[in-house]
Structure 1
Amino acid sequence: MGLALGLVGILCGLGLLVFLAYRGWSVLLLAPAAALIAALFSGEPLLAHWTQTFMGSAALFIGQFFPLFLLGALFGKLMEDSGAVATIAEFMTEKLGTGRAVLAVVLAGAIVTYGGVSLFVALFVIAPMAEALFRSADIPRRLMAPAIALGTFTFTMMALPGTPAIQNAIPMPFFGTTPFAAPGLGIIASAIMLGFGLWWLAMQEGKARRAGEGFGGVVGAAAPDLADPVLRERATTAREFDPAEIAHGHQSADHPPIAIAALPLVLVILVNLLMSFVVLPRLDFAFLAEPRWGGISLAAVSGVWSVAVALFVAIVATVALNRRRLPKLRETMDAGANASVLPIMGVASLVGFGAVVAALPAFALVRDWVLSIGGGPLVSMAVATNILAALTGSASGGLTIALDALGGTYLKLAAELGIDPSLLHRVAVMSAGTLDSLPHSGAVVTLLAVCGVTPKDSYRDIVMVAIVGAILALIAVILLGSLFGSF
């Protein structure tokens, strides 16, 4: 009876969190309240769970990942204000032209997000470019959002080797992996997502042309209210940038040439690669085993260190190359730094909620159910992470909750079954990036608003390119990984 009542408490707490978060309530309030409700039903000490379990887990997440949130948001804001993101978008438009408008939008989004630019920065720069290109090519406005989603939401976030996305960094401390985990499988998954998405969009464009459907709609979509509490709350738990800071700083009217604009993006990937496989493995980090450093191994921190150094080098390069384009550098840097705070606090609060739930006796029922899912640990981990990402509307939040609760169990099972932790890493990241694109997702809500369309107009196509394509790629990775291991 006690476990059953505890399970009811977990479901009630989760239900409250999901229901009110979708209506714009702050997750900073909802997460501890939901955690305390779950603890109350289980008869557990409330204050101890709040200050020790909840805050301890949230603080650990912040301690591990705040450097990446901070540097990622700062880099994205510098790239936006310097005009570098706009230059890359304009370059793709010029080179591919209106005849390949969809491909130009997809590749522009992919290049900037794979290079480390925050999603929301990319959305607000690429959407106007996409609107002008689609209007010129007379492609329906409703296809703008799925084209941008394909380039920014999917393979560059969860599959391409070395992507600096926070979702790709989260499994590293749990599994001792690098940002380049399972690179071959990641490339195959990326090809599936990109190929399927482009095929779907080409098919929809062809249908629209045969039906005589043109761009339509008004010229110039109304800009969304970035300070809107509902939009902001959903957005900041979905991705690592507070969209309210987009309007702050100073955007340069003088855009850099393409070589200067692209160089920081290249540096992110190259420095990340060098740090992961050349620099850190050759240095002596035996001191990390000392109690003052937490008694850890290099594997526990090398992935985060690699991405952090790569972003730092790219930030320095961006400022050095664009100093005259950044006349209000302090304002831009303040905006970038501020843009990281609400997202990490929101995700850390979700992580704290998950930690309390995982500490309750009734969670054993949930754990046993998840592990009983047929298909082995890869399948059960994929299902659990998908469910949590869908419920929280956050890939990073759902992924961290899943790994906090079950990461150790999956790592133990992987060792017993001879599964490479790199394969666990890639499956976990890809699982977090599928159902996080449901209608309540902050990224989806923001994208639709920026493109000036409604869910009725574009959401079906977003589902196909951002969810169906990702699920097909995830299935392929699980099958190939099960047959051939990680590669």
Structure 2
Amino acid sequence: MGLIGILLGLALLIGFAYRGWSVLLLAPAAAMVAALFAGESPLAHWTQTFMVGTAAFVAQFFPIFLLGALFGKLMEDSGSVQSVARFIGDSLGPRRAILAVVLAGALVTYGGVSLFVAFFVLVPMAQSLFRDANIPRTLMPAAIALGTSTFTMTALPGTPAVQNAIPMPFFGTTPFAAPGLGLIAAAIILLFGLWWLGLVERRARRAGIGYGGTLGLVPDRTADEAAEDPLVRGRATVAGTFDPAEIHQGEVTPRPPSAFVAFLPLLVVIAVNLAMSLLILPNLDLSYLALDQWGNSSPAAVSGIWSVIVALASAILVLRALNWKRLPRLRESVDAGLNASVLPVVSVACLVGFGTVVAALPAFEMVRTWVLGIEGGPLVSLAVSTNVLAALTGSASGGLTIALEALGSTYMQLAAELGIDPALMHRVAVIGAGTLDSLPHNGAVVTLLAVCGATHKESYFDMVMVAIVGAIVALVGVIVLGTLFGSF
């Protein structure tokens, strides 16, 4: 009965979330259903298990959500994201429209800009370039997803994405875990995605299909309505770090900065993250963290998160200094960025709370045994578990945290016994969470299609190819290379 309860709770969570119900209610309700079938107190699990898991996630990762959303909003309102996108678009031109959109998305997200801020800025750029090049507009969601939601989220070493931060406390790693394997995975995802998009573009040209399809040019649908759509908002907040409802708060400057000024804060994120991870924190005496005052923690448990926090905070200060007169409504912009972080972090934390309850139930031992018994060893079972949970929750961050909360210590023990570098575990877990999370109910997928004015029928298959198939190929490559040569 316990296993039936877990499956039923998961089915209720997925089914109602897909219909637009908030996970703030669904997650504890589903957890209590699972507890009831296990013959345990639902109220005790709600207040003593669910809330503890939820609060732990917020305590650990809220600073990254907070600073990431604030940085993204200030980058938008200062005109910096628009300047970066315009520079890439002007440099490559309509002849390389797809490449321009992909690279622009990659640059801003790897530099720390929130995913949904990037969506709303990149769509107008993509519309202009695709229209001039007469490329089917149905390819826009896949091109933007490739640049923003794949290799810069999970594979590139040092990415400040929250997905890359989640394994760090569990494995004692840094944002730059397994850099060589990460770069190889990123190259596979990028090249596969560009190959597919180029193939579809050439097929469309041969068939006489242009920007507006076979009927010629059509008016672009507005992206503004997507930000106010409750269904889009509900799904988006479990897949990213920015609440779309805040996207139009504040004021975007009419005088955006030069490309040089716009790029600097992005470079600061990367440079400070690297310096903190590899130079500064490893040489500091952090032994005081073992005291009761600091929760009996360790440098390995916090240094990775500290690196991302300091990088984002530094970039915010540099951004403000460089754009002193380009943020006319600074307080409103700051408020919007800060407010935009709250619903996403609580929504993802509630998914984690559900996973915490499930992991505490006696029937979960059957799930644990099945996962760890998957053929291929710990790397394969870790990849499968993060894939499945990210797919079921529609959230890479939620699925990844649930998997590691339940099995992270077990995988660390296996890594020690089998001589597997925890950095390799880190990279496999992150890339694994960023594959099947892009199923049709994923918040980023729903939001991007809505912002582009496209439908699943029109554009989703191409998104599958660039965001799922390419990522799975890269994941297999990392597992094979990691098994043969270890972490590098």
State the Cα distance separating 1:370 from its structure 2 match. Answer: 0.7
Aligned equivalent of 2:172: 176
State the Cα distance separating 1:286 from its structure 2 match. Answer: 1.1
Q: Residues of 2 paired with 1:147 and 1:229: CA distance?
A: 25
**1:280 corresponds to 2:281:** yes
Q: Residues of 2 paired with 1:448 and 1:158: CA distance?
A: 21
SS of 2:228's equivalent in the other structure is: coil
Number of residue pairs aligned between Structure 1 and Structure 2: 483
Aligned equivalent of 1:436: 437
SS of 1:226's equivalent in the other structure is: helix
Deviations 1:364-387 (A, max 9, x none): 011111111100011011111111
Aligned equivalent of 1:308: 309
Deviations 1:312-339 (A, max 9, x none): 0000111111121101000000000000
Q: Residues of 1 paired with 2:266 and 2:383: CA distance?
A: 30
Where do 1:96-107 residues align within 5 Å? 96-107=92-103
SS of 1:21's equivalent in the other structure is: helix
4+ residue segments displaced more than 6 Å: none
Percent pairwise identity: 70
- Corresponding letter in the other structure for 2:43: L
**1:246 corresponds to 2:247:** yes
Which segments of 5 or more consecutive residues in structure 2 lack a partner in the other structure?
none
- Corresponding letter in the other structure for 1:29: L
Aligned equivalent of 2:422: 421
SS of 1:225's equivalent in the other structure is: helix
Aligned equivalent of 2:188: 192
Aligned equivalent of 1:33: 29
Aligned equivalent of 1:270: 271
Q: Residues of 1 paired with 2:51 and 2:452: CA distance?
A: 38
Deviations 1:439-486 (A, max 9, x none): 111101111111111111111111000000000000000000000000
**1:52 corresponds to 2:40:** no
Which residue, 4, 11, 19 being the options, matches 2:7? 11
Deviations 1:179-236 (A, max 9, x none): 0000000000000000000011111111111111111152222223322221111000
State the Cα distance separating 1:296 from its structure 2 match. Answer: 1.2
- Corresponding letter in the other structure for 1:134: F
- Corresponding letter in the other structure for 1:344: V
TM-score of the pair, normalised by structure 2: 0.98
State the Cα distance separating 1:142 from its structure 2 match. Answer: 0.8
**1:68 corresponds to 2:69:** no
SS of 1:323's equivalent in the other structure is: coil
Q: Residues of 2 paired with 1:359 and 1:407: CA distance?
A: 14
Aligned equivalent of 1:139: 135
Deviations 1:238-290 (A, max 9, x none): 11110000011111111100111000000000000000111111111111010
Aligned equivalent of 2:353: 352
TM-score of the pair, normalised by structure 1: 0.98
Q: Residues of 1 paired with 2:459 and 2:226: CA distance?
A: 20
State the Cα distance separating 1:358 from its structure 2 match. Answer: 0.2
- Corresponding letter in the other structure for 1:295: N
Q: Residues of 1 paired with 2:476 and 2:447: CA distance?
A: 28
Aligned equivalent of 1:453: 454
Q: Residues of 2 paired with 1:207 and 1:225: CA distance?
A: 30
Aligned equivalent of 1:470: 471
Q: Residues of 2 paired with 1:81 and 1:311: CA distance?
A: 17
SS of 1:274's equivalent in the other structure is: helix
Aligned equivalent of 2:73: 77
Aligned equivalent of 1:150: 146
**1:94 corresponds to 2:90:** yes
Q: Residues of 1 paired with 2:484 and 2:173: CA distance?
A: 21
Q: Which moved more, 1:72-81 or 1:216-225?
A: 216-225
Q: Residues of 1 paired with 2:28 and 2:218: CA distance?
A: 44
Q: Residues of 2 paired with 1:227 and 1:348: CA distance?
A: 23
Q: Residues of 1 paired with 2:465 and 2:229: CA distance?
A: 28
Aligned equivalent of 2:113: 117
Q: Which moved more, 1:40-49 or 1:66-75?
A: 40-49
State the Cα distance separating 1:47 from its structure 2 match. Answer: 1.9
Maintained 8 Å contact 2:226/2:447: no
**1:394 corresponds to 2:395:** yes
Aligned equivalent of 2:125: 129
Maintained 8 Å contact 2:89/2:100: yes
Q: Residues of 2 paired with 1:151 and 1:225: CA distance?
A: 20
RMSD of the alignment, in Å?
A: 0.7
Which segments of 5 or more consecutive residues in structure 1 lack a partner in the other structure?
none
